Amino acid sequence: MSNPDLKPELTTPDSKPDPEHQKPFGTNDADEEEDGDDENDVEDEEEEDVDVFGEPDRPKPRTREDKFRSDKLKMESLLRRMQSGPVSLRVHDVIVKGNTKTKDHVIAAEIEELKRVGSMQELLKASQLVNLRLRALDVFDAVKITLDSGPPELPGTANVTIEVVETANPLSGQIGAYTKAEARSSTVEGSLKYKNLFGYADIWDGSLAYGCDHSAELSAGMYLPRFKGLATPVTARAYLLSQDWLKFSSYKERSLGLSLGLFSSTYHDVSYNLAWRTLTDPSQMSSRPVRRQLGHNLLSSLKYTFKFDQRNSSMRPTRGYAFVSTSQIGGLAPDTRCLRFLRQEFDLRYAVPLGFYRAALNFGISGGVVFPWGNGSLSRPSSLPERFFLGGNVSPLCALGGPTALWGFKTRGLGPTEPKRQVHGENSDPSGVDFLGGDLAVTALADLSFDLPLRWFREKGIHVHAFACAGNVAKLTENEYQNFSVQKFVESIRSSVGVGLVIPTSLFRMELNYCYILKKFDHDRAKSGLWLTFSGAS
């Protein structure tokens, strides 16, 4: 813990004046100016008796108005110099104040850029970047950066003072709605966070999430921005997840696991997941393929996600494109009895603005494949939870990540099926089938959205859309790939069209659609009519 009486100083290794002595920026005395707001403050500090901009012979102002005029002239002069070219400058000293709890090295890691600046312009940019980074740690209520002149014997240098205000209330809570592609539905999540418990800008959280697909998750996580000098933050999450698929596939899934975020950047994300997963069938009505998969499995997998989203909005994209690719390999453990599989999915979206009533045409195509690996892999079935299931009450437009939903089709509402167990003497459901998902899935969508002519609707963001979608799943494992043909796959594609009203709220996007099923097969759970979908931010 930092001693508040000491001012931790971070000095630059090279504090020599510029040998060319082009346009030195130096002041004799340092004095701080403070303002009360929390905006990104980068100030030049000036003092009445300061010589600046190489003009030591300027007469000293006596009245307040004179001082104001003098300051204004100095600022204009500085701006002119900065516009004409780089103003040579080095950082002599970085002083951090206010971190009573946060460790020095955590802050030091975020302010590295300040040491490398060579000009006033670079210093301003670096200060802004450092300010954003410190705020992004989410453990400070305010961050203020003040620029000051360096020692008088070292012209062309500056001192930087960083004042942080550590969060007064480390405990916070929030509730939100999200759409997770892997959950295939929207979830409502409530979480509690505790910030900076150990002074490493660590964030601890506990959350409870409930999904529209009858899933519930209890989890606790930790976020460390700087761990052992790693440039990327480390996240760890322990979770207990329960998903009820009894109605659709006659099994319940429960997972107890640990997820580690190994690497995360703007476009790339690598995570490792270790989980004990159990599939059970309390109803004892499952079909044969599901019965064979009931039991315990150890999942040890590495997942890599590449996400490039240049759309202007994920909830109502009107321009831009996005591409997501997710690769997952399971079975990374010394124990060969772990679940072994390879899973790859991708999603490509493109939004074209049409130039009237904020209209846009959205296109999307997504696909995925999964298969086990190991000896005799293709003669064995793929793991049931890893397969692709299409359908659900989430809008395909918002679910970016892989093949998930189709308008008009219920959760897990299409694809290979198998009859459930029949019990003699009981009224058995003649349409009792289990949806088994597929090893290969492809979906495509087209969506035209535009504002309504009435101003009230436009102000609320309520708009209409017309859409069309198509998709299919197929089995490849258990040697079914030998019977697979592209023609048969295309011929068995399901499709639907429709129109609807989109109502955005602060938590989610709600769609009230009329869907018309163009093509479906016997056991598919799809119907033409009114549908309500809820989608959170993905």
Partner 1 sequence: MEAEELTLVATKPSFDLPTACPLCLPVFIFLKLAHVPFRLSFNSIFPDSDQIPYVESGTYVAYNNKNGGVIECLKQDGIVDLDSEFQSIPDWISIKAMINSWLADAMMYELWLGSGGRSAYKIYYSDPPWPIGKVLFLKQVYVVKQRLGITKGNAEQREDEIYKRANIAYGALSTRLGEQNFLFDDRPSSLDATFLGHALVTLHALPDTSVLRSKLLEHDNIVRYAEKLKMELIESGSSSSGPQFHSVPSPSAQRKGPSNWSKLLHLKVIFLYFFLFLLLIS
Site residues (vs partner 1, CB under 8 A): 232, 262-263, 265, 268, 270, 276, 281, 284, 287-288, 291-298, 302, 304, 327, 329, 332-333, 335-338, 342, 373-377, 380-381, 419-422, 424
Judged by beta carbon, residue 326 or residue 513, the one nearer partner 1 is 326
What are residue 193's DSSP bridge partners? 172, 205
Distance of closest approach, residue 276 Cβ to partner 1, in angstroms: 6
Distance of closest approach, residue 524 Cβ to partner 1, in angstroms: 20
Judged by beta carbon, residue 305 or residue 496, the one nearer partner 1 is 305
Judged by beta carbon, residue 77 or residue 377, the one nearer partner 1 is 377
Cα dihedral across residues 371, 377, 383, 384: positive or negative = positive
* Rounded Cα distance, 511 and 462, in Å: 10
Distance of closest approach, residue 322 Cβ to partner 1, in angstroms: 20
Judged by beta carbon, residue 44 or residue 345, the one nearer partner 1 is 345
Strands of 404-528, DSSP E = 417-419, 433-435, 440-451, 463-474, 494-504, 509-519
* Rounded Cα distance, 514 and 223, in Å: 43
Judged by beta carbon, residue 114 or residue 339, the one nearer partner 1 is 339
Cα dihedral across residues 244, 250, 254, 259: positive or negative = negative
Judged by beta carbon, residue 169 or residue 336, the one nearer partner 1 is 336
Distance of closest approach, residue 214 Cβ to partner 1, in angstroms: 22
Distance of closest approach, residue 320 Cβ to partner 1, in angstroms: 24
Judged by beta carbon, residue 4 or residue 295, the one nearer partner 1 is 295
Distance of closest approach, residue 245 Cβ to partner 1, in angstroms: 17
N- to C-terminal Cα separation, the chain: 38
What are residue 435's DSSP bridge partners? 417
Distance of closest approach, residue 512 Cβ to partner 1, in angstroms: 39
Distance of closest approach, residue 483 Cβ to partner 1, in angstroms: 19
Judged by beta carbon, residue 301 or residue 362, the one nearer partner 1 is 301
Q: Distances from the Cα of 128 to the Cαs of 30, 43, 98, 102, 145, in angstroms?
A: 21, 11, 19, 21, 9
Instruction: Determine contact, residues 120/86, Cβ cutoff 8 Å.
Output: yes
Cα dihedral across residues 335, 339, 341, 343: positive or negative = negative
* Rounded Cα distance, 205 and 222, in Å: 6
Give the tokens for residue 331: 């079975």
